[in-house]
Structure 1
């Protein structure tokens, strides 16, 4: 793999070495000058050019990722499939996510560029030292094929991680449902994603094993609150709940958390225990739980202060006789004259 370079042959093809030989007429001095001056200069030039190329590529990547903070986003850094439709209200929450994703992609691209440039520079330097690169490249190709077959899961994880970043499926701080693990994303890599669940357990998940992602922090969230009202007047209950929901939305502490005004959509279900009124609100993803708790509290208090809660309780506690009437056939009585059942006088 390592061969002693033919200095005399190399010297004849080098302008500086040929000039030095013509001036001194000393083959030894010319060869020595080639080894002491020309070779180090070539190696130094290779290193400097590699550093310059790396700097230029890093600068281009940094400028590309930095432009994501502006309204016009480069097409390269847009998700391959848009997950969220940006309305006027929602657009203000997207740039930060774009910036984080662009920084992650930029870091990966910079690492890849550095590895490629320095690998090529190292091969050129080894060539200057007399290494025969043919067998080395052939051996690297064989090792690459062997690793490709033996590390298919690793390649799968890396490719899945790259597409996950490009498509902006989730990021650090998002609350996600990955099937086995549900929690807050703590770190995102090309191979591994770490998620901490509600009990504090830290899950390490290979990107190639993630087949579905439920992101609860992307874009906006919907708050749904169902309030049972028994058998009281539904229109009256809707009016009371509507005033309470509007009060919460207009409160200075929660005003910025609402994307759209809350809406009492009406009767959602009707059972033997009465009706259920549904209230919905479109909020920012980070404020979903806070708004949900505040709406529940405000809606419950509104029913209490309006007096509807007592009427709801009374409608639910209406007495029902558990003892059959005396005329029930099984009790041995006689049915009334207007009994519509078979056997009754009205039939």
Structure 2
């Protein structure tokens, strides 16, 4: 009596799918037809779960790295992404931690939020495409349709995109920050908030201006690093320039030696000499380098002291350009 072994036929999925598929691998490993035929049903959900977990893990790790890069540590040091700003602060102004304050927090918060949103969008897009590919969905038409829709949205929202991109570059380059006094063309004043789309400025009259970042062509920052105080002192053409220079120099030395204003001066004040000569006045110019937060107060203090010292010394003041124009009937004096 002889026993004939009947070899089981391979399932149809092993011939209809590519080599290396789940069905083909399970058939080679087990030689069980029903298990091989159900291979795709078992393995496909596992692959989808693995893709989701891998993408979520990558998103979490990258977001943690971005948060660490854009956040200041406990020692008060500058965040890594904002480290270039540290080089812009002169040593004479003290440590950067005492200067940046709110501007650093806003910059790091805005940049971190944008980077995390971009990473999330990219990773979720890749995850969606990989999951759709598991269901054998042709991604070509889908990508083409998404490209057309994205192009249409881009044309419609190009002003918004322009504002956001400009805001990112302003934050990265540290063109201005909270507390800075800036001139943006149409609006000038103190920066109260810096966002990706708009910058909020409070002018000298108290008006709050919302300026779109994409509309900012130029920025004049009067509060970054250091500032120059320029004072023009007009004296009558008949007065002695040498005597007036002595009076001004004495005032400058007194202010520089004082405790209140001397500590904000970054260099010795300098009397540059005669700036202009007109039939109405001889103008002497004074300049000094100072802390940007003190330039206006120091300028007013110097003007008041120089004016009083000139009066006490009996030196007659000359006419300013505006006074000379009014006296001459609107014709500007020749310099």
- The residue aligned with 1:181 is 187
Q: So what's the TM-score if we normalise by structure 1?
A: 0.67
- The residue aligned with 2:175 is 169
Deviation at 1:217, TM superposition (A): 1.7
Answering whether residue 111 of structure 2 is matched by residue 108 of structure 1, we say: no
Change (3 A) 1:42 1:252: farther
Deviation at 1:270, TM superposition (A): 3.0
**Higher deviation after alignment, 99-108 or 284-293:** 99-108
Per-residue displacement from partner, 1:275-304 (whole Å, max 9, x unpaired)? 332221111222111211222223233334
Deviation at 1:116, TM superposition (A): 1.2
Answering whether residue 210 of structure 2 is matched by residue 204 of structure 1, we say: yes
Alignment of 1:1-347 (within 5 A): 13-14=21-22, 18=26, 31=38, 38=43, 41-62=46-67, 64-65=69-70, 78=84, 89=92, 96=100, 99=104, 101=107, 104-128=110-134, 133-230=139-236, 231-304=238-311, 307-308=312-313, 310-312=314-316
Deviation at 1:223, TM superposition (A): 0.7
Mapped partners of 2:217, 2:244: distance in 1: 44
Partner SS, residue 185 of structure 1: strand
Mapped partners of 1:274, 1:142: distance in 2: 69
Task: Identify unmatched segments of 5+ residues in structure 2.
Answer: 1-12, 320-335
8 Å contact kept, 2:190–2:202: yes
Per-residue displacement from partner, 1:218-263 (whole Å, max 9, x unpaired)? 2221111222333332222222222222222232222332111211
Mapped partners of 2:220, 2:254: distance in 1: 32
8 Å contact kept, 2:229–2:288: yes
8 Å contact kept, 1:78–1:166: no
Instruction: State the number of aligned residues.
Output: 296
8 Å contact kept, 1:46–1:124: yes
8 Å contact kept, 2:228–2:295: yes
- The residue aligned with 1:343 is none
Mapped partners of 1:200, 1:71: distance in 2: 32
Per-residue displacement from partner, 1:56-93 (whole Å, max 9, x unpaired)? 3234445555699879988x9759xxxx9876647966
**In terms of Rg, which structure is larger?**
1
Change (3 A) 1:237 1:117: same
Deviation at 1:104, TM superposition (A): 4.2
8 Å contact kept, 2:26–2:35: no
Mapped partners of 1:155, 1:128: distance in 2: 34
Partner SS, residue 211 of structure 1: coil
Partner SS, residue 293 of structure 1: helix
- The residue aligned with 2:4 is none
8 Å contact kept, 1:93–1:219: no
